Amino acid sequence: MIATSFLAGSLLLALGCGTEPSATVTATSPTRPASQATSVPPSVPSAPASHGVAPRDESTSGAPKPTKPEGHTDNPRKVRWLKAKPSKDGRSLRITWWSGVEPCNVLDRVTVRQTSKRVTVTLWEGPSSKAQNVACIEIAIQKVTTVKLKKPLGNRKVVDGAR
């Protein structure tokens, strides 16, 4: 009883005495008791910083991570993309966007609506329904996927369906 009170008091004292936010967060899960808790780094914003410095991709080359739609996500949502680059023959588009790490941010599907004047591309992301009791760091990763068009792009305008 005394040891428990001492530990609780020490924890409260340690949390209340800093001038900066806590550097770590304790993570527990149903399969890992609190006595085996792990230390998780503080979260990082998942969008590029407002002062113009964009987070780097986690790969060593700095290139966007190639991604294919996987489906099987829970509550997929529309995600804005940064750019759409047509292939040389105009029969496909290379879509680049900011995302988070998997399995918390998985490309569910890409919908493409084509008319004679425009091509609307919508990215859908969500957490993987296959992953249970996981924690993901909040870090921005640039991803890229390629979508095929029914006919060459030509003079049609490319529009983000999430805007």
Mean pLDDT of the chain: 76
Distance CA 147, CA 131 (A): 26
Distance CA(42)–CA(112), nearest Å, equals 37
Q: Within 13 A of 54's CA, how many CA atoms are on the CB side?
A: 12
Rounded CA-CA distance 94/107 in Å is: 14
pTM of the predicted structure, to 2 decimals? 0.62
pLDDT at 14 over 80: no
Q: For residue 43, what are its two tokens?
A: 């979260």
Token pair 């996981």: residue: 134
Type of residue numbered 134: V
pLDDT tens per residue across span 45-104: 444 443 444 444 444 467 899 999 999 899 999 999 999 999 999 999 999 999 999 999
Please name which of 85, 58, 53 lies closest in space to residue 142, comparing C-alpha atoms: 58
Q: What is the CA radius of gyration of the chain?
A: 22
In tens, the pLDDT along 122-135 reads: 999 999 998 888 99
Q: What is the pLDDT of residues 141-152, one digit of tens each?
A: 999 999 999 999
Q: What is the pLDDT of residue 131?
A: 83
Task: Tell me the pLDDT tens digit for each residue of 20-62.
Answer: 443 333 344 444 444 444 433 443 344 444 344 444 444 446 7
